[in-house]
Amino acid sequence: MATPTEIRLRRAEKRLEVDFDDGASFSLPAEYLRVESPSAEVQGHGPGERKTIAGRRHVGIMTVEPVGNYAIRLIFDDLHDTGIYSWDYLHELGRDYGRKWQDYLAALSAGRLSRDP
C-alpha cells in the first residue's frame, strides 16, 4: 500500500495534489474526486447501484480532514462529506484518472446529463 508523503489542497485551482511514497504524484480535480466519491450516495450499497453524479463542474473542496492513519475525508462546497478516501483509493483514482474520467463523461452522455449545474 502506497502512503501519501504530502497532501496539498489547492482551493483556487479546485485540485487536490497527493505525493506518495512510491514516487507517484497526482493532481486531482475536485469535480473528479466528487463524482468518484467512495460514499454510498455515489457507489450505491451493492453491485450495479453506482450513480452518475451530474452538475458538479464548479465544485470545490472546502476542507481535508484526516481519518486515522489510513484515509482522508473531503468536505466539498456542495456539502457532500460522506466519502472516506483511503490511501489505496486515492492512489487508484490518480493512477486510473484517464480511464475513469472518460467512463464518467460517457455515462453523462448516455444519461443525457451535464457537468454543468
User: For every one of its 117 residues, what pLDDT tens digit does the chain have, with 9 covering 90 and above?
Assistant: 899 999 999 999 999 999 999 999 999 999 999 999 999 889 988 878 899 999 999 999 999 999 999 999 999 999 999 989 999 999 999 999 999 999 999 999 999 999 999
Residue 85 within any structural domain of the chain: yes
* pLDDT at residue number 1: 87
E strand segments, 1-117: 4-10, 15-20, 25-29, 61-67, 71-76, 84-86
Residue 76 lies in a domain: yes
The verdict on residue 22 lying in a domain is: no
Question: How many domains, the chain?
Answer: 1
CATH number at residue 95: 3.30.2020.30
Residue 7 in domain = no
DSSP assigned state of 116: -
What pLDDT digit, counting tens, does each position of 37-50 carry? 999 889 988 878 89
CA max distance for the chain = 40
Q: What is the pTM of this model?
A: 0.95
Residues 78 and 117: their CA atoms lie apart, in Å, by 11
79 within domain boundaries: yes
- Domain with 101 in it: 30-110
Q: Is residue 15 part of a domain?
A: no
